[in-house]
Amino acid sequence: EQEPEPCPPPEPPKTQPGAPPGPTRWGICSAGAISHDFVVALKTLPPSEHTVAAVAARDLGRAQDFARHFAIPRAYGSYEELAEDPDLDVVYVGVVNPAHLPVGLLFLRRGRAVLMEKPMGLGAREVAQLVGTARERGVFLMEGFWTRFFPAWRRLRTLVAEGALGSPLLLRGALGFALGGVPRLREPGLGGGVLLDLGGYGLQMALALLGGGSPPSLWAHGVLHETGMDWDKLGGKTWCFWGEK
């Protein structure tokens, strides 16, 4: 059999017109675990391409600890101070889900490019408000689905676009994380639930591979936790389907 073509190499970074020379200067909003993981990943890239210039948390002490750990030059005790920092190119927002809208708006209204940790918002209305503000201000806004940048993902999309896999009609996926002991997933006030935590991975893949655009119809099946969040006894599952039905 013919050997499959290798996955394409990573794309080189693109320089935006009018951007200052040198690495992309990141601000980190929140000093929590997800921001920690993001900076760990970012530091695997050449410092000539990316650098973390500042971090902010609601507690200055946490921001300072985070800054010391990663050798970040500036630490702030409020998100507003980070939004006013003139020496940033983009801000990574890693706050808890319910804060994505107000914190995202804070940076976008200051003309800051934003990489928003998923989910971008708690629903379509919040996402529409963030997107509308970004377009109004003419700034970059993206939801942080890192899997979209895997070479294997780009290769899969190319195969589908070329018709090498026929006409895909069904995507079936599973995520096996033991998250039953994570309190935030059970709490409506923290934007909990399987769909807003990990379920988005399957949905974004289906949207990208099964024709794109909005599905003509959408229906879902799942089990609810006693708090009202989508859940089940095995740690949380939600099944979503769409089509012409």
In the chain, pLDDT over 90 holds for what percent of residues?
A: 53
Average pLDDT, the chain: 84
118 is catalytic: yes
Q: What are the pLDDT digits (tens) for 63-102?
A: 999 999 999 999 999 999 999 999 999 999 999 999 999 9
Average pLDDT over residues 16-33: 84
Q: Quick one: CA dihedral 182, 106, 22, 57, positive or negative?
A: negative
Cα 69 versus chain centre, distance:
23
Distance, in Å, from the CA atom of 46 to the CA atom of 54, rounded to the nearest integer, reads: 18
pLDDT for the residue numbered 152: 92
Please state, in angstroms and rounded to a whole number, the distance separating the CA atoms of residues 176 and 197.
Answer: 13
What are the distances in angstroms from CA 158 to CA 29, 68, 151, 209?
34, 42, 11, 10
Range of lowest pLDDT (11-15, 61-65, 188-192): 11-15
Residue 235 in this model has a pLDDT that exceeds 60: no
**DSSP label of 108:** H
CATH numbers and ranges of domains, the chain: 24-144 (3.40.50.720), 154-242 (3.30.360.10)
The residue written with tokens 């959408």 in the block is: 218
Q: Which region, left, alpha or beta, applies to residue 150 given φ > 0 means left and ψ of -120 to 50 means alpha?
A: beta
Q: What is the mean pLDDT of residues 35-64?
A: 96
Instruction: Look at 15-24, 82-91, 186-195, 234-243 and tell me which has the smallest mean pLDDT.
Output: 234-243
- Evaluate whether 114 touches 107 at the Cβ level (below 8 Å): yes
Q: What is the dihedral of CA 103, 105, 109, 112, to 10 degrees?
A: 60
| Tens digits of residue pLDDT in 91-107 | 999 999 999 999 999 99
Residue type, 159: L
pLDDT above 70 coverage of the chain, percent: 84
Kindly name the residue from 43, 118, 233, 237 that is annotated as catalytic.
Answer: 118
Amino acid identity of residue 86, one-letter, is: P
Kindly report, residue by residue over 149-163, the tens digit of the pLDDT: 889 999 999 998 898
